[in-house]
Amino acid sequence: MELDVIRREDPEVADLIEQELHRQQNTIELIASENFTSEAIMAAAGTVLTNKYAEGKPEKRYYNGCEVIDKIEKIAQERVCKLFGMAHANVQPHSGAQANMAVFLYALKPRDKVLSMDLSNGGHLSHGSPVNFSGLYFDVVSYGVDENGYIDYDEVEKLAVENKPKLIIAGASNYPRIIDFKRFREIADKVGAYLLADIAHIAGLVATGLHPSPAGYAHFVTTTTHKTLRGPRGGVIMCDEEHALGIDKAVFPGTQGGPLEHIIAAKAIAFKEAMAPEYKEYCAQVVKNSKVLAQTLIDNGLDVVSGGTDNHLMTLDLRKIGRTGKDIANLLEEVHITANKNTVPNDPQSPFVTSGVRLGTAATTTRGFKEDDMKIVGKIIANVVKHSDDAEIMAKSAQMALELCQKHPLYK
Ligand SMILES: *Cc1c(COP(=O)(O)O)cnc(C)c1O
């Protein structure tokens, strides 16, 4: 296929792409933010659309020759609005962080106050981390989770009343429970703040009704398109008509140059796929698999933050066992499982070491993993956490993982 075309021109890069394909095929992917797109989506991302400059928006472009591009971008906008029940969409953000940056630019002045979830409790860098522009140019107050791992809405309300933020962000990179967007909006209204719902992780579940929607509550909704939504790598911003012009300006010329129209075509295909009944079944299976994985870990004597999950992810809490997230994530790689180390709430370890490992089921479910497979995955993880110094158990675990990969082939 395309690899042959690449190989004729650049064998060095073609070989590396092939190696990465083999890595993906022979690994159980539990990184909660990853997924596998359809071949149609990948194909669209590799088309002539990459050649076209289309600064501006459909019918208001700076360059000529955008008649076809306009149609493609409008299809993507219409589909994503329908999918999430929102009035306006900008499909140009290059990534989730870029989508958030544009909302900040539109809604805030430098040094305005933002209330968002703390990074070590599950928030995202682009929500006000001191190493990100959002934390450098804005005054950030953060909320966390309570001792049970749930958002404490009374605390969020108290912090909002005390600090009078201009923007409140609801949404996380590592929160396994349902987010109450209605309550967040009530809090935002009480203090006159805008509400941004960042559904980067849970977008697929929101689109299929498996997680309550922020539509009707959030002033702005941002998402990535490549996590549970299973599209190409990218971002989207949605809002009401009232904010449409301002948001569009904040994307271009505010924070970006020319849009990636090949990726926008791929996004359009992803939105179509997400409207199909099979995608709803897929998302339902993602949640079932996640619950079974969490329960298997618990049944094997391990802890997960908040004692379970309502969505596609969970965090293995290693504090009781006395192991670090860094060690376990590295050991999992030895048995063909990829996952990332992650802080647990009130983590005694640094963000480079951590006491947790985040696990998600979006990618394995795309491969066709079902509940029985997830029980085996849970068993392998428990083996690694408890018996990593037993070479025989480790070898057996690696074998079990490879068998699961062979049972559910990827990109054949
Ligand atoms: C992943 C994520 C982002 C950023 O997405 P990128 O495409 O990596 O920039 C933003 N917000 C949340 C909550 C995320 O989980």
User: Which CATH number fits the domain that encloses residue 290?
Assistant: 3.90.1150.10
226: in domain: yes
- Token pair in block for residue 373: 């497979």
pLDDT for position 2: 77
Rounded to whole angstroms, the Cα distance separating 362 from 309 reads 14
**Pocket of ligand 1, candidates 91, 224, 251, 256: which has the most ligand atoms within 8 Å of its Cβ, to mutate?**
224
Residues 202, 105: one domain? Answer: yes
26: in domain: no
CA quadruple 397, 401, 403, 407: dihedral, nearest 10: 150
228: in domain: yes
Residue 173 CA, closest ligand 1 atom number: 15
Residues 115, 69: one domain? Answer: yes
Number of domains in the chain: 2
SS3 state of residue 40: helix
Residues 118, 47: one domain? Answer: yes
Residues 109, 247: one domain? Answer: yes
| Shortest-distance Cα residue to atom 5 of ligand 1 | 96
DSSP 122-161: T--GGGT-TTSHHHHSSEEEEE-B-TTSSB-HHHHHHHHH
Among all residues, which ones are annotated catalytic? 53, 55, 198, 224, 227, 233
10: in domain: no
User: Which CATH number fits the domain that encloses residue 142?
Assistant: 3.40.640.10
29 lines ligand 1 (CB under 6 A): no
Residues 75, 122: one domain? Answer: yes
Residues 290, 259: one domain? Answer: no
Q: What's the whole-model pTM score?
A: 0.97
pLDDT for position 1: 55
Render the burial of 75-99: b for 16+ CB within 10 Å, e for the rest. Answer: bbbebbbebbebebbbbbbbbbbbb
Pairing outcome for strands 337-338 and 28-29: parallel
Per-residue pLDDT reduced to its tens digit, 91-119: 999 999 999 999 999 999 999 999 999 99
Residues 224, 306: one domain? Answer: no
Q: Position 1: which residue type?
A: M
211 lines ligand 1 (CB under 6 A): no
96 lines ligand 1 (CB under 6 A): yes
Chosen domain end from 274, 304, 322: 274
pLDDT for position 109: 97
29: in domain: no
224 lines ligand 1 (CB under 6 A): yes
Residues 254, 289: one domain? Answer: no
17: in domain: no
pLDDT for position 412: 87
222 lines ligand 1 (CB under 6 A): no
Chosen domain end from 250, 274, 298: 274
| Shortest-distance Cα residue to atom 8 of ligand 1 | 96
Residues 298, 263: one domain? Answer: no
User: How much distance in Å is there from the Cα of 43 to the middle of ligand 1?
Assistant: 24
122 lines ligand 1 (CB under 6 A): no
**Pocket of ligand 1, candidates 124, 225, 358: which has the most ligand atoms within 8 Å of its Cβ, to mutate?**
124
Burial class (CB in 10 A: 0-12, 13-18, 19+), 281: exposed
What is the DSSP-derived secondary structure letter of residue 167? E
Rounded to whole angstroms, the Cα distance separating 165 from 212 reads 24
Residues 199, 314: one domain? Answer: no
Residues 300, 400: one domain? Answer: yes
Q: Which structural domain range is residue 128 located in?
A: 43-274
Per-residue pLDDT reduced to its tens digit, 193-232: 999 999 999 999 999 999 999 999 999 999 999 999 999 9
| Residue ranges in the chain whose pLDDT is less than 70 | 1
Residue 123 CA, closest ligand 1 atom number: 13
Residues 290, 334: one domain? Answer: yes
142: in domain: yes
71: in domain: yes
- Token pair in block for residue 387: 């018996």
Chosen domain end from 227, 243, 274: 274
User: How much distance in Å is there from the Cα of 353 to the middle of ligand 1?
Assistant: 21
124 lines ligand 1 (CB under 6 A): yes
**Pocket of ligand 1, candidates 31, 35, 126: which has the most ligand atoms within 8 Å of its Cβ, to mutate?**
126
52 lines ligand 1 (CB under 6 A): no
